[in-house]
Amino acid sequence: AGAHAALGDREAADGEVRGARETLLALGAGPALDEATRLMGERRSGALTEREIEVLRLVATGLTNRGVAERLSLSEKTIARHLSNIFGKLGIASRAAATAYAYEHGLV
Topology classification of domain 50-104: Arc Repressor Mutant, subunit A (1.10.10)
Instruction: Indicate where the chain has its CATH 1.10.10.10 domain(s).
Output: 50-104
Burial class (CB in 10 A: 0-12, 13-18, 19+), 31: exposed
pLDDT of amino acid 53: 95
pTM here is 0.60
Closest by CA to 36, choosing from 62, 49, 18, is: 18
Structural contact between residues 71 and 64, judged by C-beta atoms closer than 8 angstroms: no
d(CA 16, CA 39): 14
pLDDT of amino acid 45: 43
CA 21 from centroid of its chain's CA atoms: 21
d(CA 87, CA 83): 6
d(CA 13, CA 5): 6
Structural contact between residues 98 and 58, judged by C-beta atoms closer than 8 angstroms: no
pLDDT of amino acid 81: 96
Per-residue pLDDT of the chain in tens (108 residues, 90 and over written 9): 555 555 566 677 777 777 877 887 788 877 777 776 666 655 444 589 999 999 999 999 999 999 999 999 999 999 999 999 999 998 899 999 999 999 998 888
